[in-house]
Every structure is written in structure tokens, then in C-alpha cells.
Amino acid sequence: MLREIFENVRERRPVIHSITNYVTANDCANILNACGASPIMADSKEEAADITANSNGLYLNIGTINDSTLEAMIIAGKKANELGHPIVFDPVGIGASEYRMKAAEEILREVKCTVIRGNISEIRKLASGKGTVTSVDADNSDRLTADNLEDVINSAKSLSTKSGAVVAITGTIDIAADSKKAYLIRNGNPMMTTVAGTGCQTSALVTAFVASNPDSTLEATAGAMSAMGIAGEMARDRLRCVDGNVTYGKYIIDAIYNLTPDILESGTRYEFR
Amino acid sequence: MLREIFENVRERRPVIHSITNYVTANDCANILNACGASPIMADSKEEAADITANSNGLYLNIGTINDSTLEAMIIAGKKANELGHPIVFDPVGIGASEYRMKAAEEILREVKCTVIRGNISEIRKLASGKGTVTSVDADNSDRLTADNLEDVINSAKSLSTKSGAVVAITGTIDIAADSKKAYLIRNGNPMMTTVAGTGCQTSALVTAFVASNPDSTLEATAGAMSAMGIAGEMARDRLRCVDGNVTYGKYIIDAIYNLTPDILESGTRYEFR
Amino acid sequence: MLREIFENVRERRPVIHSITNYVTANDCANILNACGASPIMADSKEEAADITANSNGLYLNIGTINDSTLEAMIIAGKKANELGHPIVFDPVGIGASEYRMKAAEEILREVKCTVIRGNISEIRKLASGKGTVTSVDADNSDRLTADNLEDVINSAKSLSTKSGAVVAITGTIDIAADSKKAYLIRNGNPMMTTVAGTGCQTSALVTAFVASNPDSTLEATAGAMSAMGIAGEMARDRLRCVDGNVTYGKYIIDAIYNLTPDILESGTRYEFR
């Protein structure tokens, strides 16, 4: 089934309006190109609605948010809602400041998001207001284990019920859940956490997949997460001992470029809960 | 002749003030370094005039423009005009929003640009107000073919007459035209369209070439476009089957670093119209 | 001794709040990850104090400064001072505009910095108000030679006395000085100057090292500079003839990823003055 999901991305070549942080914007643009989508980054409130109207999907990421880009996100989000375009929201580092938490809450109040994608600490914070997150990385105390897996799945489902969005959590096991059903995806490699912005890139990829599969949001989200994980595996296989996190990051995007629907279909490892 | 053009870049090492989008700023800085120039990025209106005064050429790119950076561009542009510094203008994605179109028109009204560089859709939009452009990529309906080549050359010449700038169009065939004469350059590789920001980088390169060859703007523009195309060919030759668009993009800049005046002279493929 | 300095970075994994330019932010984030630290970039005044409070060190870089990010830097800096967090300040291109010079002076007046890191032209400008710097690169007239080495060391020591900060100068020889003692570090490779942002990355690395070694600021600064130089040597050894400045830059970060305390200890070449 993931085969068709990815074929749709390659065929439809969706234009993705991205309002995202400047730290990883280049990698997000390149991973969108790599999967067959076409990126346009534009964070000015004066043009946010126009750009969204000319795109097929909207990606919102608060990694370096400020009052001006927050306003642009809400304008773009409302236009996307009006036009029925899917929106993927990435609450980068929401635990790290009260401002970021409030911005995330405002976005979720004003804009109906299609998917919310974060690491386990970010999603927990968003779901409950609790949890320790002081950086853009998942906190050790939030580590996914056999013991807390059920809890995490339930909090993903409950955030999905509350928000109406598919909830996507990346980590040692990736989770994509709506209110009833959860995909558990076992692709990827631990070294992915050493590359700045693999989370942002996953969210960008989810936007392209969801925009190309309007009737299969949950499956498209799971497909994008699995694609990213498989790319992480393919890239790991290429590394030589002198390579480090930056070469690894570049190889991940290269792998998305070379990924085919067949490789995705045969390489994915998921189960339902 | 391109040999001398490029020798001048390597010898004069021009400082290029770049007010450009944050998505591809790093690649633009590195390609400027690679060709022998020295980049300085600064988009604050408080310092725009000073930075321009201390530079040898100005590069304006509206990829992630907002009211504040637009103001900085106009201040810097007027200072560059006053001092006789060349200005290269890249109207990224002008079809994607009314705001972007108006910003481009304001820049061209307030600032006398030396070169305007865009893809075929962007230049058509700028020349006529017509054409479909909903992203930063050229639209399929604007594809350069044997049938419309004369038309495109004529619209480049006519925009040059109207604006007083050399007009540079990148695509399957690159075109550099003033009001009378056009270079048609047949270097490059189709995979260049999969790398975010090859257009932005070409414009940055044009700025360095033009700043180093004040009396040969058209030739310098053609030289930079040919250099970029040859770099795209050299980089393509290095690629292995597991490499993708990101590695390709890095290799293009590497190739500019290793490009010599002799390689440019012997590798260029151009004709006049 | 550098062995322990670097072991502390790898063990403590400090969160580094970076308010830096968008041109090299991605490389700074990745080099922080590579050395074992965790980056968070956030330049909005609304959250600057919170983010600093949740971090272990603060990195301020004026590469693309504007009024809004300057305000954020001062808010973050004051919070860091209040909490006793180390602050590394990088006065990128201060000679290139009056605005940038004044911003640097305001930061140094309002915030007590732990380390100031620049190239020789930037540090001379900051120390004396004199010197020619029209770009982000060191000026040729400021070239470090056997003849002016003593002078440069003395101006580093005197800026340290004046500012209370350790002063770090990168160049053909790196210098790290407090008011009494100076490290002269002979690691690195001339090709490092062709990569955009190696200076910014060195400052980011210094922040991680200093944040992990609160009682050894001078040694930690020297350790980070030596680590960067050794990474430049390791990366140079990997280059093939077709590689250029971009591949070289990626390999430098890869080398930091693979650097061990033992390699640092055995590869460092320094003396005292």
C-alpha cells in the first residue's frame, strides 16, 4: 500500500509552502525536491495567503519562530483550511520556552492541522502540558521503552482525538496515530539523532506525502516516516569510518532521491496497534 | 575570451554584498568563495548602505523577502547605483504572490540593475506580467523548445531594452541577452533542477563575474552561466548510483572551486543570436 | 590536559543557545551535535531569556544582525550573566559597517562575555577601533607574520584585560589569551578560509567546550580551537583532487564527529607566551 502512496508523490509533484526555521530550511527544500515535490519557502505575512493559495500543502515549523512569522503561519493556515489544503505542524522545542508553547497553542486554536509531528517530548508536552524538554532533542526521561510504549500510543491517540489531527512521533520506534489506530514503524538508525533537522525534514516529507494522498492521511504519514527511516538505513550502509553526522545527513536526502515505491514497500517494517 | 573573464574574478577577488533568502544563503556564500570572491550577507536596513559601500558588487534575491529586507535592498541598491557598483537581481518566484511581483517592480523602479537573472517563467512574468508561475521552479507550459526559442530570445532582448539590464535566463538552454545580442549557452545537466538553489547560486556567480569585469557585463554574465553549466557537467560525472540531489549540489560548488580559466574556455558551448 | 577538556564536552552534552546568522546556522548546529553538544537556535526577543535559562551556554554571532536580533542577544546575554552561563561572542565583520561596530560595542557594554572569538582583523578593530575590514574575511594587511606576532599577542591580552573575556583569534596561528597568558596553536589548514563559516563554527565549538569546563575557560577555548584545527587537518587528508571547498567543509564537521579526546591530546600543537 505504501507503494501507491509514494507513487502519488512522484506523480503529483505537489508544491509545498514551508514556513520553517532558517537553520534547516535548505535541507527541507532539498528533501522536498528529492521526493519529487517542489518547495517554496515564504514567511512574510504580506504574501503568506497568496503563496499558500498557489501551493498544494502547507508545512509549519516553529524552530525559529517570532511574532512576525507566527502571524504569517496563522494567515497561511487559515487560507489552507479555507482551500482544503493539508497542513503539517511541527512544534519544535515547545518545552524550551513559554512563548513557543503559547505560539503552538495559538496555531492549533486558529488553524485546523492535518498532522502534528514531533519527538516524544514535544508531543507529550503538547498533549499534557507536562514533560521536560529544554532543547530541540527528546529528553532522556521521555525515552520510549517496552514499558511505556502503550502509554505513548495512548497519548498519541488522545492528542489526535483532541486535535483532530494525525499525530506522528519520531523516535526509536516511530508512531503515526489517529484517534483509533496507530502505526508502529521500526525503520531508521540511532545516528539520525546526530544530524540537525532530521525531524524537520521528516515533517516536510510528511507534508508532501499527505498533500499527494488526500484520502489517506494516516497511511501517507506512516509512509513518509517509513521512507525517512529507510533512507536513514540506506545512508548508514554507505558510511565509511571517516564519515560523520554531516555526510550522513546528506546521504539521507540522497537516499530519498533514490528511493522507489518498490524499495519503500519492501523495506518498511510496521505493525498496527 | 571567457578565459580572461574568469581570470579577472580569481585575481580581483571581489567582495559581494548579498541580500538573499535564508534557504540557500550558505550555498551562495560557498559558491562565491569557490569562484574566488568574498561573500558578505547583510540584510538589515541600518547597515545596508555601509556594507554595499565596502563591497564591489551587490546581489539582490527576493526568495524570502519581507518589508524589512525589501527596504534594505532598495537602500543598498541606491548606494550601489551611486557608487557605480554592479547589481544582479534575481526575481525568485515572482509569479507566486502579488506581493513578490510588486516588490520586484519596486526594486526595478528604484534601482538600476545591471543584470536580471531568472528562469524562463520568472523572466516572462517580469517581461509581460503574464505566464504561470506558482513556485520557484519554471512552469512546464513555459518549457523552452525549438518552436519558442526565438520568442524567448526576443522577450529577453525586449526586457533588456526596457530595463537597461542584461537579461539572463537559465534553463535547458541558457540565454544571456542585451537589447541587441544574445548568447545561447548549451552547458549544464537536467539534474541541476533537483538541487534547491542552483538558480540563486548562478545569480551569485554572475555578480562575482560582473563585478570583476565592469566593461564586459554581457560576456561576464554568459561566462558565469557557462561556468555554472560546466560545473553541473563535471559534478554529474562524479556521481555514483547511490548519490542524489544533495551530493550533486555539493559537487557543483566543488567543481566551481576546481574550475580554471582554461577549463571554462575549452568547455563552454555557446553561439550568438 | 585537552583530553579531559574534551571528555567533559562528550559527557556533559551541554545545550547551547545560539543567536547566530542564518548563513551558517546549519553548520553551527551540526558541529555542536558533532562534538556532543545539543544546539537550540532561537533569536526572538520574546523567548530569548527562557531559552537561555534552559541552556548551558550562550553563543552570540552578529553575522546577519538587525535591531530585533540585537535586542534578543542583549536579553539572552543578561539572563546568561544572571545565571552564570558562559557567553561566547563572535563579532563577524565588525569593520564592514558602523552599525555592526556599534552593535558589538553595545553587546560588550551590556553583557559580560566569557570569550570573544574573531579573526585578526575583527579583533584588532574591536581592540583599537582601527584596522581595515571590509568583509567577513581577515584583511591582507592584517596578516599574521613573525614580525607582528608579538604585537598581536599583546593586543589580544590587552583586549582581554579591557573586556574581562578570553580573547580568541583564528588565523595561520590561532591565539587564545587572557590578560596574562596566551596559547599559540599551530593546527589547521589554509584551505579552511575557503569554507563559509569556519569561524562561526569555531565559535560554536568554543561555546560547547567552555560550557562543559566552567573552571578552565582559557584551556577550553584553546582546546576547541585546536580541535577545529585538527579537524581541518583530518578533513584535508581525505580530499581527492575533484573535491572543493564545500566537501572540505562537510569533512571538517565529520572529523569533529569522529574526534576523540586521545586524538585531540596527541594532535594538538601549542605553546605558551
Tens digits of per-residue pLDDT, B212-268?
A: 999 999 999 999 999 999 999 999 999 999 999 999 999 999 999 999 999 999 999
State the pLDDT at residue A147: 84
At A1, is the pLDDT very low, low, confident or very high (cuts 50, 70, 90)?
Answer: confident
Which residue shows C-alpha cell 534601482?
A: B111
State the count of interchain CB pairs (< 8 A) between A and B.
105
pLDDT > 70 in chain A, percent: 97
- Report B:144-183 residues touching A (Cβ under 8 A): none
Would you put residue C168 in left (φ > 0), alpha (ψ -120 to 50) or beta?
Answer: beta
Whether B44 and chain C come into contact, CB under 8 Å, resolves to yes
Helix, strand or coil for residue B117?
strand
State the pLDDT at residue A236: 98
State the pLDDT at residue B160: 97
At A148, is the pLDDT very low, low, confident or very high (cuts 50, 70, 90)?
Answer: confident
Chains contacting C (3 or more CB pairs within 8 Å): A, B
At A118, is the pLDDT very low, low, confident or very high (cuts 50, 70, 90)?
Answer: very high
What angle, rounded to 10 degrees, do the helices at B245-258 and C245-258 form? 120
Residues of chain C with pLDDT under 50: none
Q: What is the pLDDT of residues A21-41, one digit of tens each?
A: 999 999 999 999 999 999 999
How is residue A229 written as a grid cell? 527511516
Task: Please report residues of A whose CB lies closer than 8 A to that of C71.
Answer: none
Task: Please report residues of B whose CB lies closer than 8 A to that of C100.
Answer: 42, 47
State the pLDDT at residue A213: 98
- Report C:233-262 residues touching A (Cβ under 8 A): 234, 238, 250-251, 253-258
Please give the Cα distance from C251 to C195 (Å, whole number).
Answer: 11
What angle, rounded to 10 degrees, do the helices at B120-128 and B98-110 form? 70
Q: Which ranges in chain A belong to alpha helices (H)?
A: 2-12, 25-35, 48-53, 67-83, 98-110, 120-128, 149-163, 198-212, 217-238, 245-258, 261-267
Q: Name beta bridge partners: C272.
A: C183
Given an 8 Å threshold on Cβ–Cβ distance, is B30 in contact with C246? yes
What angle, rounded to 10 degrees, do the helices at B67-83 and B98-110 form? 20
Minimum CA–CA partner of C258 in chain A: A244
Q: What is the pLDDT of residues A155-210, one digit of tens each?
A: 899 999 999 999 999 999 999 999 999 999 999 999 999 999 999 999 999 999 99
At A79, is the pLDDT very low, low, confident or very high (cuts 50, 70, 90)?
Answer: very high
Given an 8 Å threshold on Cβ–Cβ distance, is B65 in contact with A43? no
Average pLDDT for residues A53-71, to the nearest whole number? 98
Given an 8 Å threshold on Cβ–Cβ distance, is C96 in contact with B50? yes
Which residue shows C-alpha cell 502509554?
A: A151
Q: Do A127 and A159 form a contact (C-beta atoms < 8 A)? A: yes
User: Does the structure show a pLDDT above 80 at B27?
Assistant: yes
User: Residue B130 burial by CB count (10 A; 0-12/13-18/19+): exposed, middle or buried?
Assistant: exposed
Given an 8 Å threshold on Cβ–Cβ distance, is B134 in contact with A34? no
DSSP string computed for A133-168: --SSSPPGGG---TTTHHHHHHHHHHHHHHHSSEEE
Strands B15-19 and A270-272 come out as unpaired
State the pLDDT at residue A77: 98
CA atoms within 13 A on the CB side of C215: 2
Mutation target vs C (from A41, A99, A247; most C CBs, 10 A cutoff): A99
Helix, strand or coil for residue C247?
helix
State the count of interchain CB pairs (< 8 A) between B and C.
105
Minimum CA–CA partner of B28 in chain A: A26
pTM value surpassing 0.95: yes
Given an 8 Å threshold on Cβ–Cβ distance, is A96 in contact with C253? no
User: Does the structure show a pLDDT above 60 at B26?
Assistant: yes
The backbone torsions φ and ψ at residue A204, rounded to the nearest 5 degrees and listed phi first, read -60, -45
Task: Please report residues of B whose CB lies closer than 8 A to that of A255.
Answer: 242, 244
- Report A:208-227 residues touching B (Cβ under 8 A): none
Minimum CA–CA partner of A239 in chain C: C254
Please give the Cα distance from B185 to B143 (Å, whole number).
Answer: 16
A242: which residues sit within 8 A by CB, 6+ positions away?
A: C234, C238, C251, C254, C255, C258
Whether B97 and chain C come into contact, CB under 8 Å, resolves to no
Which residue shows C-alpha cell 562537510?
A: C250
Mutation target vs A (from B134, B137, B238; most A CBs, 10 A cutoff): B134
How is residue A155 written as a grid cell? 497519548
Given an 8 Å threshold on Cβ–Cβ distance, is B26 in contact with C93? no
Given an 8 Å threshold on Cβ–Cβ distance, is B137 in contact with A238? no
Minimum CA–CA partner of A41 in chain B: B64
Given an 8 Å threshold on Cβ–Cβ distance, is C38 in contact with A135? yes
Q: What is the pLDDT of residues A207-246, one digit of tens each?
A: 999 999 999 999 999 999 999 999 999 999 999 999 999 9
State the pLDDT at residue B144: 79
Minimum CA–CA partner of A34 in chain B: B245
Mutation target vs C (from A92, A239, A245; most C CBs, 10 A cutoff): A245
pLDDT > 90 in chain B, percent: 89
Chain C: nearest CA to B273, how far in angstroms?
35
The backbone torsions φ and ψ at residue B177, rounded to the nearest 5 degrees and listed phi first, read -135, 140
State the pLDDT at residue B31: 98
Q: Do C167 and C116 form a contact (C-beta atoms < 8 A)? A: yes
Minimum CA–CA partner of C256 in chain A: A244
User: Residue B90 burial by CB count (10 A; 0-12/13-18/19+): exposed, middle or buried?
Assistant: buried
Tell me the Cα Rg of chain C: 17
Chain A: nearest CA to C58, how far in angstroms?
13
Mutation target vs C (from B12, B71, B246, B257; most C CBs, 10 A cutoff): B257
User: Does the structure show a pLDDT above 80 at B113?
Assistant: yes
How is residue A35 written as a grid cell? 521526493
